[in-house]
Chains A and B, each alone.
Chain A
């Protein structure tokens, strides 16, 4: 049987907060930095989404069904595209029409709701599914949680929502001697199939591609395809998952990343033992080999591959708990704007900014962080949270 290469890209942009002082609490309900959000969205659209989607479209046409990819686009990224860069949204729609692109479901806000509230998790997912149907005319069958966060119980919830396939990290501490290059199933509900990210091969592109100190630099499509073809003969699936922004934004166009992408399908398909499928296709084709036990939540972030990047210190936990305290009031209020703001505040990014793991993964954190220190991030977020909490209590009266 042919080995399957499965390509999946995460597309997400948070609504960054403006500088919100405590004097604003109770007076001003504008939380978001429109200028920064617009600037970043249009920059990323120009550097990544639009050119990369154009390339994907060309490749799909050229290989006529032999080249397929999958995306998950968070709900708040879709909102921002519609608002700030409609050209990017159009290019995703073009891809959806080809029939060779699978759109996955996730939480609408790219949130951490799966870790605290099953109800919120379900709401968020339903909302995202609706958005995917609205924009891309597909009903998602595969699910990927925010930052590939996964545990046995999260998997069970996902299965309960009717998804047949879920993506997560092939975390070393979970896998042990096992290989991520097979299909697994959820330990509590074997109906849910699991695709595990091959982090080495994924990070070769996402992190190391333009690193000139890397022994394998420069990475060519030919070399990369030979690595894939040369993996163990018995391997079933190679899951290459990464941020879509790796193309053109994290790895600049000048690094040759687009040329690499352009040449990759051809080089892969030259090997007669390889094929390229989407997650749902791959999960349907292969036989699961074992259940996977994941008692504690894992993710694809940092060396630890756990949730400590978002909920690792007391600042993050305090902010997180306080956020979900108002969940019910927000749901019960019929205030459209309040609900919208609450959704945007759930984005995992806000918690990521409060991370204090300076020393090991500090570089990556710094790159994505609009704040100088986690303390500033916390103070700003809590001010906003105080205001939105006030709004929910006022609504009751």
Chain B
């Protein structure tokens, strides 16, 4: 089994959980005798290629000859992002106009897409353009390589997946790590939504990272439930994280670690902190991270008058994150919407008792974390207080939690993914 996989990032250069998940999954797949060609927009050459072969899209020209170009153009013309809708045209006029437009587009396309394109591979201003160019290169790569299945991770690569499917006729699996609703709440970017929906519709199977995400795909994108399969993410922790830290303060520490944005639920953490501090002063709260709600969070803390026991660290990375876990007595993830959520697993590995919201995908696989509704500030405060007060409670969540986290293996997830590959290739061969 050989898979053409499209991603946007791969360790060591990652901005979020997506790259880590791709890495874990491909390692798991390698053990299942699945060969992976991993395409990414901008590889830097220091990626670990033991489990995958990485194709750097920046090294590939979209096409070499004019005929080839025309063929690709005809197949992937749906990719045109901006369309000029002109009202009040008669049918004849319209057709004429469309032909003219198409010729113009073709000329532009031939000239500008002929060469290699240097992708940034970041999430910047030109993201939409990069997404489109990536799909063209994807089509070229699909023609140059042999494979059985196409696998595309998150909306940035769905167009690439579709283009590859059109060119090769191979089945497409798309993998939803997050949806636009997770990123933006109700105020979604409709352009992104549209790309996501197209990807899901074009796919032969859709993989969701949790039942929560699966429900979003079914209910908000109207995808046939038969087609959507949950494969929970996993983690591969090679070693137990045991770090000795000298504390500067005698109080217990309760930590929020993540982006300070709407979907991470920072305000519920603050309100719960206030309630706990009404009862005991022997505790400090730490909010680590940055984000668009940062200023609001600081103001709220000041207004509640709990600043002496509530600290902001700003954005943390690398070693600082690990040190923060080592400092913590309780870790809280009150996310409003979290497709999966890896960080509670990291906390549990660092022997920190963990509270997670029921609205997170990771809640579906954990028994030994305390689960509350994100909006239920009383329950959250109660859980924090309980973990701080009863040694038996924290001891048990730590002990059982570690066992549980260590049992979440990418090998198991990869096995399920391979079964999905097998089912779509079987379907395809039946039709042919």
Interface residues in chain A, defined as those with a beta carbon under 8 Å from any beta carbon in chain B: 21-23, 25, 313-315, 317-319, 356, 358, 372-373, 375-376, 378-379, 382-383, 386
Query: Given contacts A317-B392, A318-B392, A373-B370, are A23 and B400 in contact (CB under 8 A)?
Result: no
> What residue of chain A has the Cβ atom nearest to residue B355's Cβ?
A375
Residues of B within 8 A of A315 (CB): 392-393, 396
> Are A21 and B381 in contact, with the CB atoms below 8 A?
yes
Residues of A within 8 A of B392 (CB): 314-315, 317-319, 378
> Can you list 28 A-B contacts (CB < 8 A)?
A21-B378, A21-B382, A22-B382, A22-B385, A23-B278, A23-B378, A23-B381, A314-B395, A315-B393, A315-B396, A318-B392, A356-B367, A358-B367, A372-B371, A373-B370, A373-B371, A375-B368, A375-B393, A376-B370, A378-B390, A378-B393, A379-B370, A379-B390, A382-B386, A382-B389, A382-B393, A383-B382, A383-B386
Does B279 make an interface contact (CB < 8 A)? yes
Interface members, chain B 42-69 (any A CB < 8 Å): none
> Are A318 and B381 in contact, with the CB atoms below 8 A?
no
> Are B275 and A23 in contact, with the CB atoms below 8 A?
yes
Give complex CA distance A124, B395 in Å: 33
> What residue of chain A has the Cβ atom nearest to residue B279's Cβ?
A22
Does B168 make an interface contact (CB < 8 A)? no
> What residue of chain B has the Cβ atom nearest to residue A313's Cβ?
B396
> Are A375 and B397 in contact, with the CB atoms below 8 A?
yes
Report B57 CB to chain A, min CB distance, Å.
Answer: 46
> Are B390 and A375 in contact, with the CB atoms below 8 A?
no
Residues of B within 8 A of A317 (CB): 392
Apart from the given pairs A314-B392, A379-B370, A379-B382, 6 other A-B contacts in the complex at a CB distance below 8 Å: A21-B379, A314-B396, A358-B367, A373-B371, A378-B390, A386-B389
> What residue of chain A has the Cβ atom nearest to residue B392's Cβ?
A318
Report A291 CB to chain B, min CB distance, Å.
Answer: 38
> What residue of chain B has the Cβ atom nearest to residue A316's Cβ?
B392
Does B163 make an interface contact (CB < 8 A)? no
> Are B393 and A379 in contact, with the CB atoms below 8 A?
yes
Among B367, B379, B385, B386, the residue within 8 A (CB) of A378 is B386
> Are A379 and B386 in contact, with the CB atoms below 8 A?
yes
Does B383 make an interface contact (CB < 8 A)? yes
Interface members, chain B 383-413 (any A CB < 8 Å): 383, 385-386, 389-393, 395-397, 400
Interface of B: prevailing SS: helix
Residues of B within 8 A of A379 (CB): 370, 382-383, 386, 390, 393
Q: Which of B368, B371, B385, B390 has the most CB of A within 10 A?
A: B390
For the complex of A and B, list the 9 residue pairs with the smallest distance between their C-beta atoms, beginning with the closest: A318-B392, A379-B386, A314-B392, A22-B385, A375-B370, A21-B382, A314-B396, A21-B378, A22-B382
> What residue of chain A has the Cβ atom nearest to residue B386's Cβ?
A379
Residues of A within 8 A of B378 (CB): 21, 23
> What residue of chain B has the Cβ atom nearest to residue A356's Cβ?
B400
Report A25 CB to chain B, min CB distance, Å.
Answer: 8
> What residue of chain A has the Cβ atom nearest to residue B385's Cβ?
A22
Give complex CA distance A319, B396 in Å: 13
Residues of A within 8 A of B367 (CB): 356, 358, 373
Give complex CA distance A382, B371 in Å: 17
> Are B371 and A22 in contact, with the CB atoms below 8 A?
no
Interface members, chain B 22-36 (any A CB < 8 Å): none
Report B365 CB to chain A, min CB distance, Å.
Answer: 13
Give complex CA distance A315, B389 in Å: 12
Residues of A within 8 A of B395 (CB): 314
Give complex CA distance A319, B392 in Å: 9
> What residue of chain A has the Cβ atom nearest to residue B395's Cβ?
A314
Give complex CA distance A388, B378 in Å: 21
Residues of A within 8 A of B368 (CB): 375
Residues of B within 8 A of A372 (CB): 371
> What residue of chain A has the Cβ atom nearest to residue B389's Cβ?
A382
> What residue of chain B has the Cβ atom nearest to residue A319's Cβ?
B392
Residues of B within 8 A of A378 (CB): 386, 390, 392-393
> What residue of chain A has the Cβ atom nearest to residue B276's Cβ?
A22
Residues of B within 8 A of A356 (CB): 367, 396, 400
Residues of A within 8 A of B275 (CB): 23
> What residue of chain B has the Cβ atom nearest to residue A376's Cβ?
B370
Report B96 CB to chain A, min CB distance, Å.
Answer: 65
Digit string of B311-340 for contact with A (CB within 8 Å is 1, else 0)? 000000000000000000000000000000
Residues of B within 8 A of A375 (CB): 368, 370, 383, 386, 393, 397
Report A207 CB to chain B, min CB distance, Å.
Answer: 25
> What residue of chain A has the Cβ atom nearest to residue B275's Cβ?
A23
> Are B397 and A23 in contact, with the CB atoms below 8 A?
no
Interface members, chain B 68-88 (any A CB < 8 Å): none
Give complex CA distance A320, B275 in Å: 28
